[in-house]
Amino acid sequence: MRALWIGVAAAALLAACGEGPTGESSPAPTQQSARQDFAAAPDTASLPQRLKDGEVKPGQVVGTYLQRIELIDQSGPTLQSVIAVNPEAVAQARALEEAVASGEEPGALYGLPILVKDNIETFELPTTAGSLALKDNNTGRDAPVIARLRDAGAIILGKTNLSEWANFRSSQSVSGWSGVGGLSRNPHDLSRNTCGSSAGSGAAVAAGLAWGALGTETNGSVICPSASNGIVGFKPTVGLVSRSLVVPISPSQDTIGPMTTSVRDAAMILTAIAGTDERDAATAEADDRKTDYVAGLEGASLEGIRIGVLRWAQSDDPREQAVFDEALARAEAAGAILVDIDEANLNLSGGDAFTVLKAEFKESLNAYLAEAAPEVQTRTLADVIAFNEANEKEMSVFGQDILIDSEAMPGLDDEGYRTALSNAQSATREGGVDRFLEENDVQFLIAPSFGPAFKIDLVRGDIIANSAGAGWVAAIAGYPHLTLPMGDVSGLPLGLSIMSGKWMDAEVLAVGQAFEEILPPRLIPTFRASEIEAEGFAEAASPAR
């Protein structure tokens, strides 16, 4: 079904439009030409202005990205980052063109194609969370964030693959794998993982399959795939963006975030999607807190900015540390004042943090499933567990111990849950991010986002040799966190993390813009089959002659 959706949509566009990305007639590209042109993605930086100026039209842009999805994601390297394309994308793009031609003012995201993680509802496609139990979840609804994107003129290009149930199923999971979408692959090295759970969004944006994408994060699910695929990812303050009509894990930690190739593009998306939603109580303050995040980037500078360096979260690999040290040196040269923070001293129990997630997952998922599409047969977490047990595909790679443990949890009125939530939040807020900022008189905290993408292992699951980073602190606290490219090791991207306190989203994006201006440009994927294809590796791996 996935292949049919993608192929039919692309063919329909080419037949209807007869245009390539420049407006000229162009034949359907061959496999050979596509393989030679994998890296030639559209220029995302100039695309918004070119669309507004009329240099390119939404239909043409949609066509370009649909071609790349078919030739790179479905064929060629076979990234498997896109579960399905929007069958109405062509018609919607054409309607948008006509509306603007008739005098309608183009929105801030006019004609920009955006992919959406497949746990966020869009009316054209089912919302599966990657699970075959939800393959028929055609609700015919738009989540509020999707409605806001459309109001801003964006085109919903399709749905991206994800770690099934947003990576909240098994302690031995393979990130980027779902029963519906299969296994997503990292475009920088196809033998390596995309990280998760917003795996498809990260891989697709890095590979140039969309201008931008939405991911969701509970604990690292925007930041890790963004860093591992070499793009920008932003996790907003929990409560800035609505989570209504999103398959949930944790109301206290879940949020939606933009994944793009630049800080500016992330700010554009955030400006569109931030705001209060009466169906999501956490967003009560969002209208008062949101701002024009793009305007906030103007004049961004590191001059005189005090920044805490989380030395306790840096890598013990000298190659990775060299990349981080270079980023720090560039920041100091740009006028930043760096303050080392050597110890975490967090009074946090991992058991408390996990208790919160399991308890909230059971409660919130049951509520979501109760209102799923009529065709959906699994109406509770217990139903999902039973479905998986009876489905060979679902159990072919790993089990579901986290689902089983969650089903055994008491309700949210349980004293143990309430205590765990209080402990986890106070440890990461007052005893964590807030304390780091205050005690060191700094405005932001930085660290490596993660190590290089790890190897895909379908037998043992995710094996992370070096887990640098401190994003889990911001995730549990519900505070803003930005990752952006800072360099690479052997052709594998590394990200720089920037965090701060609650509602400091605009400030984090602005300092991120200042960092982006001094750091190396993002790494363009080569779609190599393994690291031995990287420069110098093939020769080193060959026997002596």
What is d(CA 355, CA 424) in angstroms, rounded to the nearest whole number? 10
**Contact criterion met (CB below 8 Å) for 57 and 111:** yes
Residue-wise DSSP of 171-201: TT--TTEETTTEE--BTTBTTB---SSSHHH
What is d(CA 470, CA 451) in angstroms, rounded to the nearest whole number? 12
52 catalytic per annotation: no
Element spanning 85, H or E: strand 82-85
Instruction: Select which of 173, 197, 406, 449 is catalytic.
Output: 197
Q: How many CB atoms neighbour CB 228 within 10 A?
A: 33
Q: How many CB atoms neighbour CB 319 within 10 A?
A: 12
Strand arrangement, sheet containing 492-499: 82-85, 155-160, 113-117, 212-217, 255-260, 232-235, 481-489, 492-499, 444-448, 306-310, 337-341
Instruction: Select which of 117, 159, 235, 362 is catalytic.
Output: 117
Which structure tokens are listed for 456?
């895909």
Which residues have CB under 8 Å from 119's CB, separation 6+? 127, 128, 129, 130, 162, 166, 216, 246, 247
Q: Minimal CA–CA distance to 180: which of 230, 142, 127?
A: 127
Which structure tokens are listed for 158?
């399709």
Fill in the DSSP letter of residue 136. T
CA angle at residue 420 from 416 to 421, to 5 degrees?
Answer: 120
**Contact criterion met (CB below 8 Å) for 122 and 159:** yes
What is d(CA 82, CA 74) in angstroms, rounded to the nearest whole number? 8
197 catalytic per annotation: yes
Instruction: Select which of 201, 221, 242, 250 is catalytic.
Output: 221
**Contact criterion met (CB below 8 Å) for 454 and 462:** yes
What is d(CA 26, CA 19) in angstroms, rounded to the nearest whole number? 6
117 catalytic per annotation: yes
Return the active site residues.
117, 197, 221
